[in-house]
A and B are shown apart, each in its own frame.
Chain A
């Protein structure tokens, strides 16, 4: 369905080349759900933008491919993938244009990427509004964004993502801007809709709790590289990469944010050589600064980019 193969993305800045993504490989099978998790600055957003074909000007893609339904959508910029990939943005407050009605904004995308007439589109949209449980779905078409609450706007955006009958939905932390109760409702809705329609879902988040609730598989991203990937259950129950272990170890309830590891994510312009986690890693060995660790396959699709994944973490690191 979607597979990202060895994708590297760079941006030239005033202070040299920023290596935002480096040899990132991951895939979402048909009907599958993949969560991409990582701290801010790890390259999640760039990955999303690459998949959506909206990389900012000035970015280079020196290597890699993004295959969607068998075609490389990076090389073949034809808008054909548009519409087939639905997008749910992070901030429902900022993602809708305040001066157009909700209907006008979604219909504009449908005009380009969905078959049928405007009347068909309207009927379909009203139906989708009902499916996402917006109150008064017919009237919602003619309302302006500021007339909806945050949760309603996110429902609206989910409907928009589904409007052109996509095969894949890409969601960028769609619940961070919402309160906890609304968060739970939105996640439930998302799960239900993707399952009912057999959609693939790529879900980006920094929140393991959200991830566990939505995704079958997970890829942990650190400083532009995949650190660990596998079934969500397997990774959560038996994390192997020191980074993942520390993340999860920091929070025994496993459902909170990624904080509490000494040091910070390195700047994209000053990535350390070798393993990018080595300056913060409790298991660091002399070789870590020289060689980029390859992905080592473990059981049932679980893989980790650390040769020392079997070693135990020293106690203080888990405190």
Chain B
């Protein structure tokens, strides 16, 4: 298993390398003159030359690529064109907020999606199945930013039962930072009031964000269970007299979720994408909000750094997903050998 994990990590490296190269291409090649982008419209030729020299833009392209690569590897993603602060600092500060939100959303999506898919499959073509199909098709069709606004309208504005925006009540203040995850930090500080407030703030954005994930998890679980139910070994288990509930909930589900787990990797990408809009709407102080600010202020350094970091997180998640899959289905690791 250890060998499999190592292999999987090594396999992820070329894509990451390619990603770094891609960000380089995006910044240096696509804009006709990066120096002009940096300097703004009103720059004089002298200013332009000065900027070229400062950023090494007068060097040959391959040399710039190597420099870019070296900088990225040493964790130097440059400074924000807008604020002048190192981009990496900003990202490290904001990453936990985004991870907390996406993680809770993923948890909701899995916790609700898997049972929904299972029930739908066992109730094939029955009322629960139709309900599940409606949820899974609707969930993938709904625009996250619109749902976010609708939920705000209903629960925060009209009913006034949940906070409209933010990660925690400003009057309460954030818990002392240990992990950056407010749920964990407020528990570590023993502040139940902060925990409850964090949960209340998480409710609307997490629900918004989880819906597409819930939809596809329910869907893949459903088809996975239906497919597994056709297998000989299920018939055999029935003949051997397994308990009905146990047969469905453990025996069949474990086979079915291998597909679902593979989907979670892809879903994570969708979650992060969704987070950009959802964070902006709920003023969630994470990477998504940062990306939107970067867009509005034309801060391409910040935007590319976000792209890079998201790519890395995505790769890590996908390695984890593959490892989880190998743990569930021992044949996966076997096949690679």
**A94 to chain B: which residues have CB within 8 Å?**
231-233
In the complex, are the beta carbons of B254 and A99 less than 8 A apart? yes
Complex CA gap A79/B328 in Å reads 30
Say whether B330 contacts A91, CB under 8 Å. Answer: no
Q: How far is the CA of A239 from the CA of B242 in the complex (A)?
A: 41
CB interface residues, A 83-123, toward B, < 8 Å? 83, 87, 89, 91, 94-100, 105-106, 108-109, 112-113
Contact A54 B239 (CB under 8 A): yes
- Look across to chain A and name the residue whose beta carbon is closest to the beta carbon of B257: A99
Rounded to whole angstroms, the CA-CA distance of A61 and B251 in the bound complex is: 29
Q: Is the pair A52, B255 in contact by a Cβ cutoff of 8 Å?
A: no
The CA-CA distance from A198 to B235 in the complex, in Å, is 27
A160 at interface by CB-CB < 8 Å: yes
Q: Is A148 an interface residue (CB 8 A)?
A: no
Residue of chain B at shortest CB distance from A52: B239
Which B residues lie within 8 Å of A109 (CB)? 237, 240-242
| Chain B residues positioned under 8 Å from A160 (CB to CB) | 240
Contact with A along B240-261 (1 / 0, CB 8 A): 1111001000010011001000
Q: Is A146 an interface residue (CB 8 A)?
A: yes
Question: Cα distance A7–B239 when bound, in Å?
Answer: 19
A90 to B: closest C-beta gap in Å: 8
Question: In the complex where A94-B232, A108-B246, A146-B334 touch, is A99 in contact with B255 (Cβ < 8 A)?
Answer: yes
**CA–CA, A164 to B239, complex, Å?**
12
A interface residues, how many (CB within 8 angstroms):
26
**B148-182, CB under 8 A of A: which get 1 and which 0?**
00000000000000000000000000000000000
Known A108-B246, A144-B330, A146-B334; judge A96-B233 contact (CB<8 A): yes
The 3 closest A-B pairs by CB, nearest first: A82-B241, A94-B232, A109-B240
Q: Number of B interface residues, CB 8 Å?
A: 23
**In contact, B236 and A89 (Cβ under 8 angstroms):** yes
A interface footprint on B310-329 (CB within 8 Å = 1, 0 otherwise): 00000000000000000011
8 Å CB contact of B235 from A54, A98, A106: A54
- A83 to B241, Cβ gap below 8 A? yes
Contact surface of B with A, Cβ cutoff 8 Å: 231-243, 246, 251, 254-255, 258, 328-331, 334
Cα A95 to Cα B243 with chains together (Å): 17
Measured CB to CB, the nearest residue on chain B to A94 is B232
- The interface residues of chain B lying within 8 Å CB-to-CB of A83 are 241
28 contacts between A and B (CB under 8 A): A52-B238, A53-B239, A54-B235, A54-B239, A83-B241, A87-B239, A94-B231, A94-B233, A95-B232, A95-B236, A97-B233, A97-B237, A97-B251, A97-B254, A98-B255, A98-B329, A98-B330, A98-B331, A108-B237, A108-B246, A108-B251, A109-B241, A112-B241, A113-B241, A144-B330, A146-B330, A146-B331, A146-B334
Q: How far is the CB of A198 from chain B (nearest CB, A)?
A: 22
Q: Give A98 Cβ to nearest chain B Cβ, in Å.
A: 6
A sample of 15 more A-B contacts (CB under 8 A), given A95-B235, A99-B331, A160-B240, is: A52-B238, A79-B241, A82-B241, A89-B239, A94-B233, A95-B232, A95-B233, A95-B236, A97-B254, A99-B254, A108-B240, A108-B242, A108-B251, A112-B242, A146-B330
CA distance A231 to B231 in the complex (A): 36
B236: which A residues are within 8 A, CB to CB? 87, 89, 95-96
Q: Distance (Å) between the CB of A196 and the closest chain B CB?
A: 22
Query: In the complex, what's the smallest C-beta–C-beta distance from A166 to chain B, in angstroms?
Result: 11
CA distance A97 to B329 in the complex (A): 10
Q: Find chain A residues with CB under 8 A from B329 CB.
A: 98-99
Minimal beta-carbon separation of A236 from chain B (angstroms): 30
